[in-house]
Structure 1
Amino acid sequence: MINVPGGPVTLNDRRTQRSWTVEVAPYLLAAHPLTQAAHALTTGTQAGGRLPAHSLSWWDAVGYCNTLSLQEGLTPAYHLHDATDDGDDAPDGGITWDRNADGYRLPTEAEWEHACRAGTSGPRYGPLDDIAWHRDNSEEHIHEVATRRPNPWGLYDMLGNIWEWCWDLYDPEVYGSYRVLKGGGWYDPHWSCRTSVRRRSHPTLRIEDVGLRLARTPRPQP
């Protein structure tokens, strides 16, 4: 896990032409997307070494976070209520996040974008072919994590390879329980692999270019 410093980040939505600034507190973020080997170690359901774990729904992702937290003696970040395997279209998604918990969780959209930018101001933190697997260089398949150049904070694959689930609802008034995806994937064109690009999907979606990256809230200092 990488210690990510706090700071302001400005998010943009191309669809609504809206911008908003969020002040992010310090947090921990995994250096690369969750791998299939790590997923298998926790759940026994998927293998494949250092390839990113994929075809995981948002519900799969939050469930994995809680499972891993319990295995490591941490306080689970999520409280699941009346959600079912088919999903819950209520705006809250049938789940709450305990922001004081020290267990694993998904990053917020603001945390994700703040970490991806890593103090840079352009659409990407480096030349795309150097930092990301995308449609023009991936040969149309997923690649092992951390085989492209990291950003200035030591985070790999923030762009390309797989899209990553975030905690946030995309636009609950219009799309209900749809959640935010960030980062672009191995089949996406170059314009889709930019820090500011945001995608949405139903939290039950399972597809081969969507995975997750673990975050944690640091324990308060005594």
Structure 2
Amino acid sequence: MNNSVDNSIKNPSSGLTSNSIGMEFVLIPAGEFDMGSPMHEKRRKLWESPVHRVTIKKPFYLSKYPVTQEQWQVVMGDNPSYFRGEKHPVENVSWNEVQVFFSKLNALENARENNRIFRLPTEAEWEYASRAGTETAYFFGNDESKLREYAWFLENSGFETHPVGLKKPNPWGLYDIYGNVWEWVQDEYHISYKGAPADGRAWENLFPSISIPVRVRRGGGWNGNAGCCRSAERLFAAQDKRLNSLGFRAVWVI
């Protein structure tokens, strides 16, 4: 695989900024990458293929951490999480409820005349940011024994979430991109990448006859093994499903 990144942004983490409720964001550069897992990758799944080239044409901001319970509370006025803690990632929220969160957050920002738009990342944006220019199974290489340094997962989580930001970040300054909680993305789930968009946009409206679409989740959680935390790993859940291992992070559209 051959990843390429726009060299005009050499250090995305230097573009750190925040919104009105204190969510911190990292600037993710435009670039190209090969999405999916090659045949030789350990623990790979069939639905991570075929490997295909994706171009992210515009830079975007991605939240430095998963959205926390404190941030959810400010916007939504409640806390549905099973594992409580202000700095813990919010979980037990459906994809549908996440859309309401963004609608309210955007309204809040616009009321303050900030003219900002926030949304879920697309599946391609998520994997691109997770890889951070790398081509290996994990952004730190292929040695899964190092995962403990970067993620809370089945082997070290104690079967619960943890405050965000306690483990090492990826090369672009994103914390908990592996483990702690799985993360919703915008896309509907499909069993392969055949016909997937090559421009990084969300792949939706695949099965209009289905009353409750199935959405993609990424990154692994406190209850997943090391294989669930690979950059290419992808699972799914009905968009009205709530799980105490499933949260999300935010894109700030430039």
Structure 2 residue 214 is the aligned partner of structure 1 residue 178: yes
Structure 2 residue 241 is the aligned partner of structure 1 residue 214: no
Q: String of CA shifts for 1:62-107, please: whole Å, max 9, x gaps.
A: 1101110110117xxxxxxxxxxxxxxxxxxxxxxxxxx9411000
Partner secondary structure for residue 2 of structure 1:
strand
Alpha-carbon distance change, 175 to 160 in structure 1, aligned in 2, over 3 angstroms: farther
Structure 2 residue 129 is the aligned partner of structure 1 residue 115: yes
Correspondence for 1:200:
236
Structure 2 residue 71 is the aligned partner of structure 1 residue 38: yes
Alignment-mate amino acid for residue 158 of structure 2: E
- Root-mean-square deviation (Å): 2.0
* Kept after mapping to 1: 8 A contact 2:69/2:87: yes
Partner secondary structure for residue 72 of structure 1:
helix
Separation (CA, whole Å) in 2 of partners of 1:10 and 1:170 = 19
Separation (CA, whole Å) in 1 of partners of 2:220 and 2:209 = 20
**Equivalences, count:** 193
TM-score, normalisation: structure 2: 0.72
Alignment-mate amino acid for residue 20 of structure 1: H
User: Mean Cα displacement is larger for which, 179-188 or 165-174?
Assistant: 165-174
Correspondence for 1:6:
30
Aligned residue among 35, 55, 68 for 1:23: 55
User: Mean Cα displacement is larger for which, 145-154 or 16-25?
Assistant: 16-25
* Kept after mapping to 2: 8 A contact 1:169/1:178: yes
Partner secondary structure for residue 160 of structure 2:
coil
Separation (CA, whole Å) in 1 of partners of 2:53 and 2:240 = 29
* Kept after mapping to 2: 8 A contact 1:9/1:110: no
How much has 1:42 moved relative to structure 2? Answer: 1.2
Structure 2 residue 88 is the aligned partner of structure 1 residue 51: yes
How much has 1:18 moved relative to structure 2? Answer: 2.1
How much has 1:123 moved relative to structure 2? Answer: 0.9
Deviating runs (4+, > 6 A) in structure 1?
A: none
Separation (CA, whole Å) in 1 of partners of 2:105 and 2:178 = 25
Alignment-mate amino acid for residue 235 of structure 2: R
TM-score, normalisation: structure 1: 0.81
Partner secondary structure for residue 73 of structure 1:
helix
Separation (CA, whole Å) in 2 of partners of 1:120 and 1:32 = 20
> Any gaps of 5 or more consecutive residues in structure 1?
75-100
How much has 1:174 moved relative to structure 2? Answer: 11
Alignment-mate amino acid for residue 114 of structure 1: Y
Structure 2 residue 193 is the aligned partner of structure 1 residue 161: no
Correspondence for 1:85:
none
